[in-house]
Amino acid sequence: MDLKRPSRTLLELSETYGPVFSIQMGFTKMVVLSGYEMVKEALVNQADAFADRAQVPAFEELSRGNGILFSHGENWKVMRRFALSTLRDLGMGKRVIEDQIVEECGHLIKNIDSQKGKPIDLTMIMNAAVANVIVSILLGERFGYEDPRFTRLLHLINETIKLAGTPSVMEKSDTKSYFNTDNFKSLISNLFSAGMDTTSSTLRWGILLMTKYPKIQQKVQEEIEKVLGSNPPRIEHRSKMPYTVAVVHEIQRFANILPMDLPHATTMDVTLKGYFIPKGTYIIPLLASVLKDKSQWEKPDAFYPKHFLDAEGKFVKNKAFMPFSAGRRMCVGETLAKMELFLFFTSLLQRFNWHPAPGVSSSDLDLTPAVGLTSGPMPHKICVAARA
């Protein structure tokens, strides 16, 4: 087992043992689901049976059954419903949130511009920009990128996500009773950390990939110039920018931010394609195997935006595009994340050209993912030049 990147080992095992197999990790027996058809069958077609979260000691200690990411049963159902309805009430997917993202794009661009073209590591400023969108929704304010409380919080979240991906982590009926301080604190923490890290990591992958593939970067910029000119991007422009939207989707597919999903558990005895799986079984829906399913993608191991374009250059969806997972535990922030990814990515390519650091060629850029619960790029520095 590759203990730093276990998803790689599971992908190799699926080649030998097929789309459903079990492994023993520590004291825990787990069932791994691999490939689009099997993951869809479990998470979508038999959604209720695979809707629980596995009991992982570190996560249980962290959440104490509260919040949304690692909670169970009725508490999870109540908190998920509350989170979805509240986020909608606060404007998720609507113009008010779009305006906040566009405003934050301005702060991010100003910060990058102030670096005067020197090689920079985007990790903390990208984290800060995305986090500020979440903060504006949850707390009604934003923080300066250098604010010491804010930067300490971002560092702690990054460290927690790294530690959560290490092998050592494997070792009430009345609705009103769920609305308490501990549940709210845990829910806000879930939304903040999950919403920041995944989107920020995807954007950093996007900039790294544009740097590695300058012809794709140039093609995106040509479409931006044609559709936007110097006007800031808005969500309404998405329908007129098929190539840019295809590139953003391919960044998500290729980045494979959550290769093993968060672990599920069965809520009942269930039969999956002839396999009997008892209630309470630890389930790993191997999202990496869906996003790289050879039966669904023309070039699964390559960065290839044409996966989302037809022969005429129009954007096309792909049913195996599952970066937000699927079924009952699907990401509650999907709408917000899609909005952020398009607006931040398009703004950054509209305003800047992205180049490797001095002495590094595009072909030398390392696309090996970092170790952690989520798979961001390895630490790297990149050069940026303002566009006319």
Separation of alpha carbons 70 and 60, rounded Å: 7
Cβ atoms within 10 Å of 143's Cβ, excluding its own: 18
Q: Which residue blocks in 256-333 are alpha helix, DSSP H?
A: 287-291
**Residue for token digits 């093609």?**
219
Q: Are strands 270-272 and 352-356 parallel, antiparallel or unpaired?
A: unpaired
Q: Which two tokens stand for residue 51?
A: 């809707």
pLDDT in tens, 222-241: 999 999 998 999 999 999 99
Separation of alpha carbons 133 and 335, rounded Å: 13
Separation of alpha carbons 270 and 355, rounded Å: 51
Task: Name, of 118-127, 280-289, 371-380, the range with top average pLDDT.
Answer: 280-289
Give yes or no for residue 242 having a pLDDT over 70.
yes
pLDDT more than 70, % of the chain: 96
SS3 301: coil
Least confident among 56-65, 193-202, 272-281, 360-369: 56-65
CA distances from 280 to 43, 44, 50, 88, 262 (A): 15, 18, 9, 32, 15
Fold assignment, 75-257+298-386: Cytochrome p450 (1.10.630)
**Residue 183: its pLDDT value, please?**
78
E strands in the chain: 20-25, 28-34, 52-53, 264-265, 270-272, 275-277, 282-286, 352-356, 382-386
**Residue 248: its pLDDT value, please?**
97
**Which of residues 208 and 160 earns the better pLDDT score?**
208
Facing residues of 356 across strands? 382
**Residue 192: its pLDDT value, please?**
77
Separation of alpha carbons 81 and 379, rounded Å: 37
**Residue 81: its pLDDT value, please?**
86
DSSP 26: T
Separation of alpha carbons 85 and 182, rounded Å: 19
Q: Report the chain's mean pLDDT, rounded to a whole number.
A: 87
- Intra-chain end-to-end CA distance of the chain, in Å: 50
Q: Give residues with Cβ within 8 angstroms of 199, minimum separation 6.
A: 130, 337, 340, 341
Give yes or no for residue 59 having a pLDDT over 90.
no
pLDDT more than 90, % of the chain: 52
pTM of this prediction exceeds 0.85: yes
Give yes or no for residue 276 having a pLDDT over 60.
yes
Q: Which two tokens stand for residue 26?
A: 């520590």
pLDDT in tens, 140-196: 888 888 888 878 877 777 776 666 555 544 744 445 577 778 778 788 878 877 778
pLDDT in tens, 292-321: 999 999 999 999 999 999 999 999 999 999
Report the half-sphere exposure of 372 (CA within 13 A, side-chain side).
20
% helix / strand / coil in the chain, to the nearest 5? Answer: 55, 10, 35
**Residue 176: its pLDDT value, please?**
54
pLDDT in tens, 80-92: 888 888 888 877 7
| 329: Cα separation from own chain's centroid | 14
Separation of alpha carbons 191 and 332, rounded Å: 9
